[in-house]
Structure 1
Amino acid sequence: MGGVARKGMLVYEIYRALSYVVSPLLQLHLRWRKIRGLEHPTRLPERLGRPSLTRPPGPLLWFHAVSLGEGMAAIPVIKECVKWRPDLNILLTTATMSACEVIINQLPTGVLHQFSPIDTPAAMDAFLDYWNPNAIMLLECELWPNLIMVSSRKGIQLALINARVSMKSFKLWSAPVLFPLISLLLSKFSLIIPLSSMQGIHFQLLQAPPFIINFAGDLKYGLRPLSRKGAHYDCSVIFPPILTLPLTEVGIGLHRRLGILAAITEIQKILYTKGALTQRIFLASLFYLLYHCFFTAVEYDASKEELRSIDDLKVQLGHRKVWMASSIHRGEEEVMLGVHKVLKQVYPDLVTIIVPRYPQHGKDIAQKLQKEGQLVALRSQHQKIVPGRNIYVVDTLVSGKAMMGMFSNQDIFEKLGCYCVELCHEMKVTLVKRVFGELRHLYRLTPIAVIGGSFFPGLAGHNISEAAAAGCAVLTGYHVGHFSHMIREMQQLNPLSVLQVTGKLELEEAMLKFFSDAKVLEARQTASKQAFHALSNGIIANAWNVLYFHVLKQALLKGR
């Protein structure tokens, strides 16, 4: 064992000892997260390595993804596995609630789902002893020391798929203390599939063995539209059932006699006239009222309804010029609205679609514009794009992270109550739409897509492949983080596929050029779509072939 490996083992032993010592605190932390609605109310033991499902007999593959993005990237590979090896059992673990509620409805029949165990010796030993996987596929950057070292000790094959490391993590992992540990962990893998050549270089600099690095492309190119099976809404995961005391029946009774909105109005009156404890009880009642009246219904066919809504929007837009600014972060709306103002002077019937990253940001934008006297259509209010309305704000893209972003820096009960009331008023016509595939449909409405999260330092860009797949002319800023490889790959295939701009002035110039010259715009649209299809063609099959040849074949031959 070399010097770096010995240092790595020393650092790991320290990590293992610390994770053992803090294990009780981590369990308390999980319980606190459960109280706050961040962990599933009935599946918390899974986070400690205790299964809630029976392991089927035969070989088993474990795919591990933390959040929604990684989980969605894993699904096409899982489907490819089911296609070619239906005899294999497959387990997918995720760590977040948002990933669970969406992904569980996208998995092929027979694929198991569990919440991932925390990285403590006891939890990992219990999990691996029970499930006894033949191989483990980790998504993106999941380098958990106990998971990797315990799996290696048990002789389980390891693969890192769609592997990436941010520049921040790369600098941290290159530090003298962590470098030996990271080097040791990477040496335990049988396969690393980086999402780009630059990421491959990063892993080699972290001393990953060169012979285990194989390329297949970025799995995000292989994502397909969500299935028509909507997410199952279970509001009991948001608020602990223990707080739904008998006074809940007051809310239910009000609902039965007066209707949902009148019941909420009555509860609001109580909130402002009673003490703090009673307020909290009735807030719990309000949450349970929502759950009882709406969320215990059958699965909502979100995709089908969404397609109908998008088609209706297309009719409303007619032949007006339109462009979309998507995944906008706070501050970036000033850039987009500034460009809108310039374009509107040239094209009075222009429609600008603004899709903020967080729904509340959309409401704030709409309120500000309305105070300025501008006519704005807000998607959550089902407002139409009629003549005279030039701005359409989409405030219905709600992800798990977005929801948690709302619950910060204030009293949790106050925020939950305000959010409940807001939700109910939005549900006059339909359920509030937590539509995770909505953006892909919206891109169909516009010939031009400006991808936000990229115009200010500190931001890290967003996925441009969805806009390219829809045939939009794609523009973005320069602060794109690890999405730089995606932009570079598309530009290498066709320089017209993605245009990067430094800010408002360059964006104005580009937009004016696109709208004034149909041939220029069409060339950009064609380039982005062709580049996307060239990059996505066969990418899942390639990833499966590499994975099967380098990991699964050997793992299954060993007959573990």
Structure 2
Amino acid sequence: MILFILYQLLLFAFLPIAMYKLYWPKAGKPNVGKRWVEHFGFGKKVSNVDLWFHAVSVGEVIAATPLIKQLKQQHPALHILVTTTTATGAEQVSAKLGELITHRYAPFDLWPCIKLFIHKNQPKKLWVMETELWPNWLSVCQQHRIPVSLVNARMSERSCKRYLRFSGFSQRLFAKLSLVLAQHQDDAQRFNQLGVAAANLQVSGSIKYDLPATDSLIQQAADTRKSLFAERLVWIAASTHKGEDELVLDVMQQVRKQLPDSLLILVPRHPERFDQVAELIAARELSFARRSLQQVPNSNQTVYLADTMGEMMLMYGCADTAFIGGSLVKIGGHNYLEAAAMCLPCVAGEYDFNFSDISQQLQACGALKLSADNEQLANWIKAWLSDENARKKAGEAGLGIVKQNQGALARSLDALLNH
């Protein structure tokens, strides 16, 4: 009870910080606008909600999209309400799901907000993507007999240890989940350790493997590459974070010492950083082109700043090899699978705890190499750019891992509909 009261007090204390992050205008970042009231449970009522599906931001929306589309194909009359926390997530919902669903911003985890949201919309069930768990959400859903399922769930060893510091609180929290579809066996074991009953646990695999590179996307990427980069050797640094772009540019300059015609596609993780990264590149006196301005890089330009949203797979398709961001800083890495699905061999920094299982599989087959050393990363990139056969062999091995693990989407949907 003491921890519960403390949690409520902390929510109110940190509310101004959350509001600042969500609402303060930033260049390149979409704005919530007048819909900010939805975070407090207000806004236009949504009637006859069969399913409330929560995907916090861009990554979760992208992962959830094929699941929602397949669900709608099977049950076209199903009324789905998708919530996101961020405006960038809302943009992705609009772009990828359009009229298939209704979108609202998710309520803050404050009792009045979540109770008002539930009272207004009366969803029959809640599916939450990955690990976005909020104690008050779960408590109110339990009171209203709304079953809560965790989809594509992952629980890193690091996060598990944090929850176990407050084991009593965590046990009560996780016991309220009616179904957890864990990505891997080690995730399932951690959820069980935290209080999810074994009867409510299944290992379904990661639906992020179900990302087939369609023929139309591959052709679009080939056309885009030809128009932008001609015959140049191209590598991509995807989903980079603050403090990481500088390191990537250092690697790029090392690569160019051996391969002076090579070009880097740089894709910052967050849109509000696009202009900051552009300033960083300019401060280094590097010539670059910006995708948002529809600029075509000339032969002297060394960086192509991909400062748009929703085009990651397309940009992977334009490259020969990839660096995966969030790995040279303690973010824990990002999803390697989109690059692997486009047949790209990958390098990354040492921090891979967000995707450790996938990382191990790709390392084992030779499609991924990790190092904290910039020089080593540069050497691997140079080796793959210089050797088409080695690059193709490693890329095909990674694509093989993706194909071997596909099917989680169908398994997850079957489990959710029959629970």
In the aligned structure 2, how far is the partner of 1:541 from the partner of 1:321?
38
- Given candidates 315, 336, 339, the residue that maps to 1:467 is 339
Shift of 1:343: 3.8
Are residue 347 (structure 1) and residue 265 (structure 2) matched?
Answer: no
In structure 1, the partner of 2:317 is: 444
Provide closer, same or farther for how the CA distance between residues 391 and 94 of structure 1 changes in structure 2, counting only shifts above 3 A.
Answer: same
What SS does the aligned partner of 2:354 have?
helix
In the aligned structure 2, how far is the partner of 1:149 from the partner of 1:53?
22
What SS does the aligned partner of 2:235 have?
strand
Q: 162-171 or 203-212: which moved more?
A: 162-171
Provide closer, same or farther for how the CA distance between residues 349 and 171 of structure 1 changes in structure 2, counting only shifts above 3 A.
Answer: same
The letter for the 1-side match of 2:314 is: H
Shift of 1:159: 0.6
In structure 2, the partner of 1:476 is: 348
Are residue 172 (structure 1) and residue 162 (structure 2) matched?
Answer: yes
- Given candidates 354, 371, 381, the residue that maps to 1:511 is 381
Shift of 1:538: 2.2
Are residue 148 (structure 1) and residue 60 (structure 2) matched?
Answer: no
- Given candidates 359, 377, 381, the residue that maps to 1:487 is 359
What SS does the aligned partner of 2:47 have?
coil
Provide closer, same or farther for how the CA distance between residues 362 and 14 of structure 1 changes in structure 2, counting only shifts above 3 A.
Answer: closer
Provide closer, same or farther for how the CA distance between residues 112 and 505 of structure 1 changes in structure 2, counting only shifts above 3 A.
Answer: same
Shift of 1:34: 5.2
1:22-61 aligned at under 5 Å gives the runs 22=12, 40-56=32-48, 60-61=50-51
In structure 2, the partner of 1:391 is: 302
In structure 2, the partner of 1:528 is: 398
The letter for the 2-side match of 1:490 is: L
- Given candidates 69, 86, 90, the residue that maps to 2:80 is 90
Task: Tell me the TM-score normalised to structure 2 length.
Answer: 0.85
- Structure 1 unaligned regions, length at least 5: 1-9, 229-302, 397-434, 551-560
Are residue 72 (structure 1) and residue 62 (structure 2) matched?
Answer: yes
What SS does the aligned partner of 1:319 have?
coil
The letter for the 1-side match of 2:35 is: R
In structure 1, the partner of 2:200 is: 212
Cα-Cα RMSD: 3.4
Contact preservation (8 Å) 2:51, 2:80: yes
What SS does the aligned partner of 1:141 have?
coil
Task: Tell me the TM-score normalised to structure 1 length.
Answer: 0.65
> Once the two structures are aligned, what percentage of the paired residues are identical?
27
Q: 25-34 or 114-123: which moved more?
A: 25-34
The letter for the 2-side match of 1:523 is: K
Are residue 104 (structure 1) and residue 94 (structure 2) matched?
Answer: yes
In structure 1, the partner of 2:281 is: 366
Provide closer, same or farther for how the CA distance between residues 365 and 79 of structure 1 changes in structure 2, counting only shifts above 3 A.
Answer: same
In the aligned structure 1, how far is the partner of 2:189 from the partner of 2:154?
10
Provide closer, same or farther for how the CA distance between residues 148 and 473 of structure 1 changes in structure 2, counting only shifts above 3 A.
Answer: same
**Cα deviation 1:84-129 (Å, max 9, x = unaligned):** 2223221111221111122123226352222212222222222223
- Structure 2 unaligned regions, length at least 5: none
In the aligned structure 1, how far is the partner of 2:170 from the partner of 2:93?
30
**Cα deviation 1:134-163 (Å, max 9, x = unaligned):** 211122222222211121122221111122
Are residue 14 (structure 1) and residue 8 (structure 2) matched?
Answer: no
Shift of 1:203: 1.2
Provide closer, same or farther for how the CA distance between residues 316 and 160 of structure 1 changes in structure 2, counting only shifts above 3 A.
Answer: closer
Provide closer, same or farther for how the CA distance between residues 368 and 148 of structure 1 changes in structure 2, counting only shifts above 3 A.
Answer: same
In the aligned structure 2, how far is the partner of 1:539 from the partner of 1:383?
39
The letter for the 2-side match of 1:487 is: S
**Cα deviation 1:29-55 (Å, max 9, x = unaligned):** 859965769973433443232350340
Higher Rg:
1
What SS does the aligned partner of 2:97 have?
coil
**Cα deviation 1:156-211 (Å, max 9, x = unaligned):** 21111122335554333111xx3212211211222101222222222122122122
- Given candidates 511, 527, 546, the residue that maps to 2:415 is 546
**Cα deviation 1:279-318 (Å, max 9, x = unaligned):** xxxxxxxxxxxxxxxxxxxxxxxx9xxx69x835423433
Provide closer, same or farther for how the CA distance between residues 338 and 210 of structure 1 changes in structure 2, counting only shifts above 3 A.
Answer: same
What SS does the aligned partner of 2:326 have?
coil
Alignment length (residue pairs): 411
Shift of 1:523: 0.5
Shift of 1:214: 0.7
- Given candidates 183, 190, 205, the residue that maps to 1:202 is 190
Q: 321-330 or 209-218: which moved more?
A: 321-330
Q: 31-40 or 119-128: which moved more?
A: 31-40
**Cα deviation 1:511-557 (Å, max 9, x = unaligned):** 3432443321210121122222322x32211110111122xxxxxxx
1:109-148 aligned at under 5 Å gives the runs 109-148=99-138
